[in-house]
Amino acid sequence: MILSLLILNKAGGLVYHRDFSNTFTKLSSNDYLVLAGTFHGVHAITARLSPFGPSSGGTPSSGLEVMESEHFRMQCFQTLTGTKFLLFTEPQQPNVDVILRRIYELYADYVMKNPFYQIEMPIRCEAFDRHLMAYIKPKQ
Amino acid sequence: MSATKAARMGEEVWKTRIDKVNAELVTLTYGSIVAQLCKDYEGDYLEVNKQLDKMGYNIGLRLIEDYLAKTAPQRCVNFRETAEMIARVGFKIFLNITPTVANWTSDNKQFSLVFEENPLGDFVELPDDGRAQNELWYSNLLCGVLRGALEMVQMQVDAHFVSDTLRGNETTEMRVSLVRYIDDELPQSED
């Protein structure tokens, strides 16, 4: 079961939020913004915690990727442009990375290629919603 | 990633994941844009170059996501690898051409893309007004695309054409120089 998708822009602002299930308690919309901002900060910290960072000749760490609890699993996929996709699922959900990659493709197609979408701004693209739902629904 | 591996990746993605459109449609659409700009700016070709670059820049900012989503590449470890990926994957999947990477400077910060073919320029003859041949860079949109796309992956570059077969030069060559890596995500470290 896929629970929720959040998309964060480069600056850590929440630009998209969608729930796919009614089984959990919702936060207020302001709390989602705070959650996104907090995650952005935590992610930046975790990216610098790696002992094999650039200063020791390694590649930069990607930062926090997965957080698991008894009730949910949160996976973060950060693109090379700095956009973050956070997917909340039930812990036993398989192939989360495949799902995230597919969502990224939908984003590239229906958000970025929409000439009237302004980069870094909140996503209000009906075609994206539609294709996202069509992709997620059969998996539930 | 080695050049041959990049070439294979470009080929694979182009074959399996890219929707194709008629090449003439692209050529004619681009042609009418450039012709219209020349009309709108009353033959001020320097301004046309600038506008094409700007339009390309806005395309690049968006197109990079498509490139990343479709190819799922690793981060390039140096600018040489970036050049190979641009030529063998980027140009391959979007235009089905593979310009040659050449003329590196010794500091590995500048290279040329030499275009043996350029779908944008098919059927084109520059206006015979004695200026277009010296002033207009017909395919200047491509420079903007590279600049915009690379900026999104933290590289500030300068890209410009230095020769064009449409002007009667022997080759079509774009010069790309790395200005700097943009480190905007992390704040300045305190040590």
List, for residues B52-69, the tens digit of each pLDDT value.
999 999 999 999 999 999
List, for residues B6-18, the tens digit of each pLDDT value.
999 999 999 998 8
Would the CB atoms of A105 and B186 count as touching at under 8 Å? no
Closest chain A CA to residue B149: A81
How far apart are the CA of B67 and the nearest CA of chain A, in angstroms? 9
Residue B69 has its nearest CB partner, among A10, A105, A119, at A105
- pLDDT computed for residue B184 by the predictor: 61
**Closest by CA position to A80, among listed A10, A2, A21:** A10
Q: From residue B105, how far is each of B44, B101, B109 by CA, in Å?
A: 33, 12, 6
Q: What's this model's pTM, rounded to 2 decimal places?
A: 0.90
Residue A80 has its nearest CB partner, among B68, B77, B184, at B68
pLDDT band at residue B2 using 50, 70 and 90 as cut-offs: confident
Would the CB atoms of B185 and A104 count as touching at under 8 Å? no
- pLDDT computed for residue A54 by the predictor: 62
Domain ranges of chain A: 2-139
What is the average pLDDT score of chain A? Answer: 91
pLDDT band at residue B40 using 50, 70 and 90 as cut-offs: very high
- pLDDT computed for residue A24 by the predictor: 78
What is the average pLDDT score of chain B? Answer: 93
B176-181: long-range pairs with CB below 8 Å, 24+: B176/B83, B176/B86, B176/B110, B176/B111, B176/B112, B176/B113, B176/B146, B177/B109, B177/B110, B178/B79, B178/B109, B178/B110, B180/B155, B180/B156, B181/B154, B181/B155, B181/B156
Contacts of A55 in chain B (CB under 8 A): none
The fold adopted by the segment(s) B3-181 is Muramoyl-pentapeptide Carboxypeptidase; domain 2 (3.30.1380)
List, for residues B88-104, the tens digit of each pLDDT value.
999 999 999 999 999 99
List, for residues A113-140, the tens digit of each pLDDT value.
999 999 999 999 999 999 999 999 998 8
ipTM of the complex: 0.88
Contacts of A119 in chain B (CB under 8 A): 61-62
Q: Which of A80, A100, A128 to mutate to probe the B interface, most B CBs <10 Å?
A: A80
- pLDDT computed for residue A50 by the predictor: 73
Q: Could you give phi then psi for residue A85, rounded to 5 degrees?
A: -110, 120
Tell whether A41 is within 8 A of chain B (Cβ).
no
- pLDDT computed for residue A55 by the predictor: 64
Contacts of B186 in chain A (CB under 8 A): 44, 47-48
**Domain A2-139 - what CATH class?**
alpha beta
How far apart are the CA of A66 and the nearest CA of chain B, in angstroms? 19
- pLDDT computed for residue A57 by the predictor: 63
- pLDDT computed for residue A58 by the predictor: 65
Task: State how far Cα A21 lies from the chain centre.
Answer: 16
Tell whether A32 is within 8 A of chain B (Cβ).
no
Domain ranges of chain B: 3-181
- pLDDT computed for residue A48 by the predictor: 83
List, for residues B116-148, the tens digit of each pLDDT value.
999 999 999 999 999 999 999 999 999 999 999
Handedness of CA A40, A125, B145, B9 (dihedral sign): positive
List, for residues A5-26, the tens digit of each pLDDT value.
999 999 999 999 999 988 878 8
**Is pLDDT at B190 greater than 60 in this prediction?**
no
Residue B69 has its nearest CB partner, among A10, A48, A104, at A104
**Is pLDDT at A52 greater than 90 in this prediction?**
no
